[in-house]
Chains A and B, each alone.
Chain A
Amino acid sequence: MKEITFTVTDPLGIHARPAGILVKEAKKFSSKITVFKGDKSCDMRKLLQLMGLAVKQGDTINVQVEGDDEDACAAAIEAFLKENF
């Protein structure tokens, strides 16, 4: 299992549209990707759940990746988060 910790710097947080792009990215991989924020968590493939986390600027999220392509997947997700959020 791979783990990523990321603090959101985008002033708008992970809102609808960028969240969708993140989901799209997550769907490229077969690994199970779980996002944790505080005591809430969700599957990164589920757009509505992800939006429900209401991740804002300054929030720290924890992402756990588990599966066959977890190395590639974790790297891609981390790069994607850094670039877009």
Chain B
Amino acid sequence: MALDYRKCAQEIADNIGGGANVVSAAHCATRLRLVIADNGKVNKEALENVDGVKGMFESNGQLQLIIGTGTVNKVYDEFLSITGASAASKEEVKAAAAAKQPLYIRLLKPIGDVFVPILPAIVASGLMMGLVEALAKIPGLGFGDTDWFAFLDMVANTAFAYLPVIVAISAARVFGGNIFLGAVVGLMMIHSNLTNGWAAADGYGVWYLFGHIKITDSYTLGQINQLGYQGHVIPVMLAVLFMSKLETWLHKHVPEMIDLFVTPLTTVLVTALVTFTIIGPIFSGLETIVLAGAEKLVSNPIGSCIMGALYPCTVVMGLHHMYNVIEAGMLASKGLNTWMPIASAANFAQFGACLAVGIKCKNQKTKAVAIPSSMSAALGITEPAIFGVNMRFMKPFVGGMIGGAVGALVAAFMGIGASAYGVTGIPGYLTINNALLYTIVLAISGGIAFAITTVIWQEDEPKKAAPAPAPTVAAPTNAVISCEAGKIIAPAIGQVISREEIPDATFASGVLGDGVGINPSEGVIFAPYDGTVSSVADSKHAIGITGPGDMEILIHVGVDTVAMNGDGFAPTVAEGDTVKAGQVIMTFDRAKIAKANHPDTVVVLLTNSDDYNTVNCGADV
């Protein structure tokens, strides 16, 4: 009996809380893929019993209903007309599913993605800068006047002075823009015709693109402050994000003939305008507000405490460069820089939090980043620790904020201060008026941040360092499929399940050929017979091998694992290779498959089983 598509679609809609509860809908060859707003309204049992729904499961934030080839599209059309949901591509469904992650993760992830690749550069610079500046501040040594200092200072601060360029290139890669255009945007933002951002306090020129139409007292339409973005991170990332989106859009819409010159030209020009007239003013506005707010806050202990907590957030925004102005003002009016201990407390707390991560983590990669980053933070350069470690895991960052707040409060009560500005953390000893009290402040802020981080931060499940070295396990000898052409030895170690039990309707139905599933206990795949590799999927999760008597075997590792794009799969053979039975042809990371929420069942199918008269499948046939 033919399926009543409309009835099926109606019943699905009824059991997921109606069209209003559907964020988006798409379908693939066999499944209706839905993203649901409120999963509480989904009646899973009833859904499974809807006539036409062969099965359902949830993965990656999607509710997937198995309906079947040829029918799913018809049910889908009816579903759209019933629910009024708009058709979405699979990409959009995936994006909507990603959107269900907490907001702060979605906002922070790109920052981490941009920063991790550039960490070596800023860790090197951060450490060197801390050491060189500390040496220069040692009284009586006179190092600051030597040519060595001038040279080392230049070497050390290169990565920071040109940070926007490095960030822009990395961001262009992450956001899918052309990295050279990204470099241009980064360079433009610190162009030598602009006043260096660090010297903003000395004044700078302004361009007025549209004359002098004042919007507010301090802002004129089309006003561009001739001020570089040295040391800035967020405005650069926003500019490159905009650039990448614009570039992609233009590539799609500009006719190919003129694409090569129209697209880059338009991309750079529009990005420049948007950056300097919109993104720039917003940030300089923010800077002014932060500066005024910070100056007010530190005038009393409670405010200092709040400042100690917020300080790292202003580092993230790239607003901390303006603080030199406050410090200079304090020295001029009171002769004592009471801002420095607060900044030191905040920075040293980030050091404590980062060190805690470095000590507690088992992942060698994390350790290798966290330890040097924390050293740099102890010397007062916190960017590597904040961007590379603490903010990626978030909890250490919060631990650092709390430590900084307490430390700043103590410092304000004790009333200690510095006789100069420019250094914090350990080099701060060279300028502080009371070394003992300063030690207490650092110990409190760093110690609290360290303790809180150690307690509340847990490393994500330790990933297997590398896919299990293959030869440690012996190849299976049991045949899982046999036909008149020969036997097919199990390509994986583990429990053999029947084809019908494979957790995927298409494989289970047998349309791709007869075979078995193996729930693997080791992440290794062996050649099932002597033969030739006829295909290795680009996404590395499937290998096809042609063997004796023209048997064609497909070994597909996991279900839906094509979505992992090869991450976690390491085939050791290539198309055209000759393989011997029992030879290792792939290793894969079971933990990664589990993390991506896919079953790791190894599907073994004789794809041309129709060509043989008798095909037997089982644990040992």
- A residues with a Cβ closer than 8 A to B are 10-13, 15-18, 20-21, 23-24, 27, 46-49, 51-52, 54, 56, 83-84
Q: Are B29 and A18 in contact (CB under 8 A)?
A: yes
**Nearest CB in chain B: distance from A27 CB, A:** 7
Q: How large is the interface on B (under 10, 10 to 19, 20 to 34, 35 or more residues)?
A: 20 to 34
A15 and B534 in contact, given A21-B506, A27-B610 (Cβ under 8 angstroms) = no
B587 in the interface (beta carbon within 8 A) = no
Contacts of B91 in A (CB 8 A): 11
Contacts of B544 in A (CB 8 A): 47-48, 51-52
A48 and B607 in contact, given A11-B90, A20-B511, A84-B29 (Cβ under 8 angstroms) = yes
CB nearest to B91 among chain A residues: A11
10 additional contacts, CB 8 Å, given A16-B537, A52-B534?
Answer: A15-B539, A17-B507, A17-B512, A17-B556, A20-B512, A21-B69, A21-B511, A47-B554, A48-B534, A48-B552
Q: Are B607 and A20 in contact (CB under 8 A)?
A: yes
A-B contact pairs, 24 of them (CB 8 A): A11-B91, A12-B539, A12-B562, A12-B563, A13-B538, A15-B538, A17-B506, A17-B562, A20-B511, A20-B513, A20-B607, A21-B69, A21-B512, A23-B512, A24-B511, A47-B607, A47-B608, A48-B544, A49-B535, A51-B537, A51-B542, A51-B554, A54-B538, A84-B69
B73 in the interface (beta carbon within 8 A) = yes
A56 and B511 in contact, given A17-B29, A27-B610, A83-B73 (Cβ under 8 angstroms) = no
Q: Are B538 and A56 in contact (CB under 8 A)?
A: yes
Contacts of A15 in B (CB 8 A): 537-539, 542, 562
CB nearest to B541 among chain A residues: A16
Chain B residues 11 to 50 lying within 8 A of chain A, measured CB to CB, are 28-30
Contacts of B542 in A (CB 8 A): 15-16, 51
CB nearest to B565 among chain A residues: A12
Chain B residues 531 to 547 lying within 8 A of chain A, measured CB to CB, are 534-535, 537-539, 541-542, 544-546
B58 in the interface (beta carbon within 8 A) = no
CB nearest to A25 among chain B residues: B69
B575 in the interface (beta carbon within 8 A) = yes
Q: Are A48 and B554 in contact (CB under 8 A)?
A: yes
- Sorted nearest first, the 6 A-B pairs with minimum C-beta distance are A48-B544, A20-B512, A52-B535, A48-B534, A51-B535, A47-B607
Contacts of B90 in A (CB 8 A): 10-11
**Nearest CB in chain B: distance from A26 CB, A:** 12
Report which of B28, B30, B507, B546 forms a contact with A48, defined as CB distance below 8 A.
B546
Candidate in A16, A17, A24, A48 with the most chain B CB atoms within 10 angstroms: A16
Contacts of B507 in A (CB 8 A): 17
Contacts of A13 in B (CB 8 A): 538
* Measured CA separation A11–B95 after assembly (Å): 13
Chain B residues 201 to 217 lying within 8 A of chain A, measured CB to CB, are none
* Measured CA separation A47–B507 after assembly (Å): 14
CB nearest to A12 among chain B residues: B562
**Nearest CB in chain B: distance from A28 CB, A:** 11
* Measured CA separation A10–B546 after assembly (Å): 27
Contacts of A84 in B (CB 8 A): 28-29, 69
**Nearest CB in chain B: distance from A15 CB, A:** 5
* Measured CA separation A48–B513 after assembly (Å): 12
* Measured CA separation A30–B45 after assembly (Å): 43
Contacts of A23 in B (CB 8 A): 512, 607
* Measured CA separation A78–B15 after assembly (Å): 35
A47 and B512 in contact, given A16-B537, A27-B610 (Cβ under 8 angstroms) = yes
Contacts of B535 in A (CB 8 A): 48-49, 51-52, 54
**Nearest CB in chain B: distance from A51 CB, A:** 4
* Measured CA separation A13–B607 after assembly (Å): 19
Contacts of A10 in B (CB 8 A): 90
* Measured CA separation A43–B97 after assembly (Å): 37
Contacts of A83 in B (CB 8 A): 73
Contacts of B504 in A (CB 8 A): 17
* Measured CA separation A66–B91 after assembly (Å): 36
Contacts of B29 in A (CB 8 A): 17-18, 21, 84
Report which of A20, A47, A52, A54 forms a contact with B506, defined as CB distance below 8 A.
A20
Contacts of A24 in B (CB 8 A): 511-512
CB nearest to B539 among chain A residues: A15
Candidate in A10, A13, A46 with the most chain B CB atoms within 10 angstroms: A46
**Nearest CB in chain B: distance from A37 CB, A:** 13
Contacts of A51 in B (CB 8 A): 534-535, 537, 542, 544, 554
Candidate in B507, B511, B535, B575 with the most chain A CB atoms within 10 angstroms: B535
Contacts of B537 in A (CB 8 A): 15-16, 51, 54
Candidate in A10, A20, A23, A54 with the most chain B CB atoms within 10 angstroms: A20
Contacts of A16 in B (CB 8 A): 537, 541-542, 554, 556, 562
Interface string of B584-621 (1 = CB under 8 A from A): 00000000000000000000000110100000000000
Contacts of A12 in B (CB 8 A): 539, 562-563
Contacts of A56 in B (CB 8 A): 538
* Measured CA separation A48–B554 after assembly (Å): 7
Contacts of A52 in B (CB 8 A): 534-535, 544, 575
**Nearest CB in chain A: distance from B472 CB, A:** 28
Chain B residues 520 to 576 lying within 8 A of chain A, measured CB to CB, are 534-535, 537-539, 541-542, 544-546, 552, 554, 556, 562-563, 575
